[in-house]
Amino acid sequence: MRALKAPPRGPITASVTAGQASFTQFGCAVCHVATITTAPAGTVINAGQFTVPTALGDKNIHPFGDFLLHDIGTGDGIVQNGGQGTRNQVRTAPLWGIGARTRFMHDGASVTVSDAIARHGGQASTARTNFNNGGATAQANVLAFIFSL
Ligand code: HEC
């Protein structure tokens, strides 16, 4: 699993490029971060269970997610691995490969990306409001961008 290739991106059209700009401007990229650099080779993680090999160390990856816990109002009271305070937090879903999925959010309860965006509240309220107020063209561009990932 660790060595699986990231899914290839779709065509980068003008709409996709504009959509990425709006995605960043709306604040989506605060959590759905474009680039993460993996830990250096030799780093020991998971309480000593795994040493990052050269092939995976110090690489720039583009998951469009920060893998961190956030409360965007979709939590279901299940405590995550950070104590009681995490009971309504969920990890940011990476958006890469999203075109291959048919159900969204941790509970699979959204069958469209638009619905998944509409469910963003809590810490993501401002970004959702910006998206909702962004106009039909920007919204369509953001969707084109997301489906290119
Ligand atoms: C405060 C952090 C945060 C911000 C800002 C944010 N998101 Fe998210 N996003 C999340 C989290 C956390 C999840 C997973 C929620 C869950 O599974 O219940 C998620 C899930 C998603 C998903 C579903 C992915 C999947 O495969 O299930 C989409 C699509 C998405 N976000 C798009 C957006 C867009 C577009 C914006 C900007 C309007 C945005 N997000 C802003 C944290 C954020």
Determine contact, residues 127/139, Cβ cutoff 8 Å. Answer: no
Q: Is the minimum distance from the CB of 30 to ligand 1 under 6 angstroms?
A: yes
Q: Which atom of ligand 1 is nearest to the CA of 103?
A: 27
Domain ranges of the chain: 14-33+69-147
The residue to which tokens 């299940």 are assigned: 78
CA of 40 to the centre of ligand 1 (A): 28
- Confidence band for 8, pLDDT divided at 50, 70 and 90: confident
What is the pLDDT at residue 1?
A: 64
What does the pLDDT look like over 65-115, one tens digit per residue?
999 999 999 999 999 888 899 999 999 999 999 988 999 999 999 999 999
pTM beyond 0.85, yes or no: yes
Q: Say yes or no: domain 14-33+69-147 is CATH 1.10.760.10.
A: yes
Q: Is the minimum distance from the CB of 33 to ligand 1 under 6 angstroms?
A: no
CA of 75 to the centre of ligand 1 (A): 12
Q: Count CB-CB contacts under 10 A for residue 105.
A: 15
